[in-house]
Amino acid sequence: MARAEIEWDPSNPFDPGPCISVVVMNSPEFIEAGRAVGLEFPAPHPVQALLDTGAAVTVISKTFARFCKLRQTSAGTELRVLGSKYLAGEHAGAISFPGTELRTFDLIRIVSADFEKEPNYACLIGRDIMRHWDIRFDGRSKRVTIID
């Protein structure tokens, strides 16, 4: 059983929420197949991701999806954010959690959208991933515990 702990102070207005470091990249089998036909892939690069129970799906910034050369598998997916509609791309990717023993998701659908003026994170971990975890928040110690 893997476990990770992160800090979150909901009383601090400058705390963006519970964030965890993630590496998003193409799936191992796609990288292997791509390299065999001459495609190149960037080195893995960790970014911050917000644990977002309000997100139905995992979302990364379009800028970061382009940086990762994440293989796109659909377009025009509708996201609704506070009543506003956004059209998003869909990608096949892998998500890992460096510095923890949480298991890697080797091949999942990841939605990409514009993260406007968002300096704190480039990814939202949605309920499609969180449904695999036991997540507990202790408000007194200001710690979020993820048990995989």
Partner 1 sequence: MAAVDPFSVELRVFERHRREWSRSHRGEYVVIQGDVIAEGFFDSYAEAFRAGLRKFGARHEFLVKQVWPTEPVYFVS
Query: Does 90 sit near partner 1 (CB under 8 A)?
Result: yes
Query: Does 73 sit near partner 1 (CB under 8 A)?
Result: yes
Spatial separation of the C-alpha atoms in residues 48 and 25, rounded to whole Å: 14
94 strand-pairing partners: 25
Q: Which is nearer to partner 1, 2 or 39 (CB)?
A: 39
DSSP structure class, residue 82: T
Among 77, 96, 100, 145, binds partner 1 (CB under 8 A): 77
Residue with tokens 């476990």: 3
* Residue 147 amino acid letter: I
Contacts with partner 1, residue ranges (CB under 8 A): 27, 29-30, 33-34, 36-37, 39, 52, 54-57, 59, 71-82, 88-90, 92, 106-109, 111, 124, 126
